[in-house]
Amino acid sequence: MNSTKLKQAADLIRKAKYAVAFTGAGISVESGIPPFRGENGLWNKTNPNFLEIEFFKKKPFQSWQKIKEIFYDNLGDAEPNAAHEILAKMEKRSFLETIITQNIDHLHQKAGSKYVYELHGTYKQLVCTECSSEFDMSFADLNYLPPTCYICKGILKPDMVFFNEPIPHFAKKRSFEEAEKADVLLIIGTNAEVLPAADIPVKAKEHGAKIIEINIKPSHFTDTITDIFLEMKATEAMKEIGQLLYL
Ligand code: APR
């Protein structure tokens, strides 16, 4: 069943004029990073309010304690998996133009992908809440929380989009432009619950793109915009697609 659909998916990608990937937390699960929702989902165990922007501003120390525990104590050791690596190979061989990701784990770049739009920012950078100066996270000693700005002593915040914060303008603008140009969109590992990110694949569909979706279970996209649904793990499906494209 999947083999026919895998061949159809590889064919679409091979013949595509402008293929774009749209990824969510599911692509990083096999790198050891838990998803936010569904089985083993982070939000099943942890109240997400520590990532709400007003909470952060009022209680930066408590917020940073959870941020450090959940993101910085774990993400540093995470390595890209086969799905990230095959997307990077697809870019090198011009089978893929760009990746639009909701993930903040930097694993696409670590795998070698160059054209990546991070809709929800990145954990790799810290930004000052007072003077907006930016620092690589390696500059911060997270044994002293909250970290403060080297220039103005303001409180530093991870350069990730918190709940009730707007998406970075440039990433949002370019992501919708990419969606409008795509004739094939490869969606990997997203529940499609969070807006405006989930509007991007819908925009691609509206502009005529064929939608290939990889997920271990149906998402909100599957019965609405998806043309080829590969009910598989990201690494399994991408390894098969990589072989069919002779990567
Ligand atoms: N392979 C493919 N898909 C998988 C795998 C896997 N190995 N494991 C889980 N999934 C799928 C799940 O079935 C689910 O549909 O990945 C999806 C993960 O969904 P979420 O955890 O909701 O992640 P995402 O859709 O990226 O969330 C969007 O919500 O909390 C915010 O900012 C956060 O960027 C995040 C946004």
Dist. CA 115 → ligand 1 center (Å): 21
Based on the fold, state whether residues 59 and 152 are members of the same structural domain. Answer: yes
Based on the fold, state whether residues 15 and 68 are members of the same structural domain. Answer: no
Based on the fold, state whether residues 216 and 172 are members of the same structural domain. Answer: yes
| Each residue's pLDDT tens digit, 5-19 | 999 999 999 999 999
pLDDT along the chain (247 residues), means of 10: 93 98 98 93 93 97 96 90 98 98 98 98 96 94 95 96 95 98 98 95 98 97 98 98 97
Based on the fold, state whether residues 183 and 225 are members of the same structural domain. Answer: yes
Is 120 annotated in the active site? yes
Instruction: Compute the distance between CA of residue 11 and CA of residue 14 in angstroms, rounded to an integer.
Output: 5
Domain boundaries, position 152: 36-73+122-160
Dist. CA 130 → ligand 1 center (Å): 32
C-alpha distances (whole Å) from 125 to each of 24, 132, 160, 185, 236 are 20, 12, 8, 28, 31
Based on the fold, state whether residues 89 and 20 are members of the same structural domain. Answer: yes
Query: With a threshold of 0.75, does the pTM exceed it?
Result: yes
**Cis status of the peptide bond prior to 196, with omega within 30 of 0:** yes
CATH code assigned at 13: 3.40.50.1220
| Each residue's pLDDT tens digit, 183-223 | 999 999 999 999 999 999 999 999 999 999 999 999 999 99
CATH code assigned at 61: 3.30.1600.10
Of 198, 202, 210, 203, nearest in space to 177 by CA:
203
Determine which one of 84, 106, 108, 120 is catalytic: 120
Based on the fold, state whether residues 172 and 239 are members of the same structural domain. Answer: yes
